[in-house]
Amino acid sequence: MVQKIIHIDLDYFYAQVEERDNPKLKGQPVAVGGSENRGVLATCNYIARDYGLHSAMPTKLAKEKCPHLIVLPTNMQKYKAASTIIRQIFYKITPIVEPLSLDEAYLDVTDVNLHQNSATLIAKEIKHQIFTETQLTASAGIAPNKLLAKIASDLNKPNGLYTIRPKEIDTFIHHLPVSKLFGVGHATKKKLSSLNIEYCHQLQKLSLSTLQAHFGKFGNSLYYYCRGMDKRVVNPSRMRKSISVEQTFSSDLNSLEACQTALGKLYPKLLTRISNAQALCISSLVLKITDNKFNKYTLTRQAHEASLEYFSLLLPMIITRTAHPIRLLGIGVQLSEKENKQLSLKL
């Protein structure tokens, strides 16, 4: 049974939201990100990309390449509001939705009885609904598996749609650069290019055992990916349910004060992880400790933001559960898919 997978990804997401909300920005190079002093671009529109700008580029360098670039600060509340709407559109089509980030998801529409089960027409409808409800454009990739659907959604960006039918896979994959394959980052690309491999048809010539010898377990995936094959299923529960950080101390902590200091150091790390995960909504805070007798304690409290003040307030409540010094401290958040409009992640 052939799967029908749609991958949807919004175009220059943060910058497009800003453009939508301020029509004066239309036609100008626009980026969203940090300041010129140490900041980087979160993203930029396609006009700015023509100047060679891209996500994660230092803002200072971006301004050098494109002096009339307009750089706006991030406004996560607005991006999350748009994300909530697009997810609701996905869930109206099928419950088998795997969100990858705020602007992106896989949908398994194999058994969706809409548009005579044409995944391409379903994708068109999703794009149309997204535009009607958010005035934002998205790109869609339609293919028999996740690997190809994601590659396809990137092909005609912005506002693109690209379908790879089962019988087209061999031709499509033949001249595809290996760097487009899932999991092939800088290091793997370099290793492959040292083996004179740049395209999938060249990679297909390597045996499974050769690939395993060079790349370990990932060699196995590569063997199938370079043939356009991918067994990964759309996993509706993949979105992270919690995010945490912890530290085991080289010498045990003997006082509440020492624990508060340790908490202060762990906290920024937690914020970074939350921000990287692009989580929609916090539902509770979690603290955990292990004392030097290896007794473990956990404290969970409902909360809608990860504030240091609340963690500090909860800390004595968990510390007093043990009479022994503390060897490990962990803090974290539990996440909820449901966005509550008044209460949301505050960084």
Which residues are near ligand DCP by CB under 6 A?
9-14, 42-43, 55-56, 101, 103-104, 157-158
23, 171, 8, 102: which is closest to 345 by C-alpha? 102
176, 108, 112: which is closest to 143 by C-alpha? 108
The strand pairing partners of 244, in sequence order, are 332
- Alpha-carbon gap, residue 136 to 131, rounded angstroms: 5
**Piece in contact with Mg ion (CB under 5 A), picked from 13-21, 29-37, 181-189, 311-319:** 13-21
Q: Which two tokens stand for residue 209?
A: 């055992």
Tell me the DSSP string of 217-245.
HHHHHHHHHTTT---PPP-TT-S-SEEEE
The strand pairing partners of 329, in sequence order, are 247, 289
- Alpha-carbon gap, residue 266 to 268, rounded angstroms: 6
Out of ligand DCP, Mg ion, none, which partner does residue 55 contact, by CB within 5 to 8 A per kind? ligand DCP
Provide, rounded to whole angstroms, the least separation between the CB of residue 60 and ligand DCP. 16
- Alpha-carbon gap, residue 20 to 177, rounded angstroms: 34
Provide, rounded to whole angstroms, the least separation between the CB of residue 158 and Mg ion. 9
Report CA Rg, the chain: 23
Nearer to ligand DCP, 55 or 242 (CB): 55
Provide, rounded to whole angstroms, the least separation between the CB of residue 268 and ligand DCP. 17
230 touches Mg ion by CB under 5 A: no
Provide, rounded to whole angstroms, the least separation between the CB of residue 226 and ligand DCP. 23
Nearer to ligand DCP, 1 or 56 (CB): 56
Provide, rounded to whole angstroms, the least separation between the CB of residue 117 and ligand DCP. 27
- The interface with Mg ion within residues 97-126 (CB under 5 A) comprises 103-104
Nearer to ligand DCP, 4 or 157 (CB): 157
Out of Mg ion, ligand DCP, none, which partner does residue 222 contact, by CB within 5 to 8 A per kind? none
- Alpha-carbon gap, residue 173 to 150, rounded angstroms: 13
For Mg ion, which residue has the nearest CB? Answer: 104
Q: Which residues are catalytic?
A: 104
**Interaction site with Mg ion (CB under 5 A):** 9-10, 13, 103-104
